[in-house]
Amino acid sequence: GAVVSQHPSWVICKSGTSVKIECRSLDFQATTMFWYRQFPKQSLMLMATSNEGSKATYEQGVEKDKFLINHASLTLSTLTVTSAHPEDSSFYICSARAPGTGELFFGEGSRLTVL
């Protein structure tokens, strides 16, 4: 099946710093990728839809200046958590939509811990 890879799988950073998480579709071109956040013992919450070559669409309540999304190529989307705080500590997951079938494939997730 299609593979979506995230990097890093885990990261620890100091409060106030910025962290970038990459999401790559390894064997297909994805014009659309999605970013989710998951807190412990909770479900996945959709943060934003990343569209190649255009601005991301953010879900209600998600700060676009806090969570910067860039989808510069058909195989790469990045999520940058700016000025991270401990409450941003979470499991961040991306998914990519395959062309044609529209199927969605998920990355392995990236665990962010902000000290």
Partner 1 sequence: DAKTTQPPSMDCAEGRAANLPCNHSTISGNEYVYWYRQIHSQGPQYIIHGLKNNETNEMASLIITEDRKSSTLILPHATLRDTAVYYCIVRALTGTASKLTFGTGTRLQVTL
Using CB under 8 A, list all residues that contact partner 1.
1, 4, 6, 34, 36, 43-46, 49, 91, 93, 95, 97, 101-109, 111
> Shortest Cβ distance from residue 67 to partner 1 (Å)?
16
CB 113 within 8 A of CB 89: yes
Radius of gyration of the chain (CA): 13
The residue (of 8 and 16) whose beta carbon lies closer to partner 1 is 8
Residues 6+ apart with CB under 8 A from 23: 4, 5, 6, 33, 35, 76, 77, 78, 79, 94, 96, 107
Q: Which is nearer to partner 1, 82 or 106 (CB)?
A: 106
Element (H, E) at 88: none
Residue 33, both tokens: 């990728």
Q: Quote the least distance from Cβ 50 to partner 1, whole Å.
A: 11
Shortest distance, CB of residue 83 to partner 1, whole angstroms?
26
Between 75 and 92, name the residue whose CB sits nearer to partner 1: 92
Nearer to partner 1, 2 or 13 (CB): 2
Minimum distance of partner 1 from residue 16's CB (angstroms):
26
HSE (side-chain half, CA atoms, 13 Å) at 27: 4
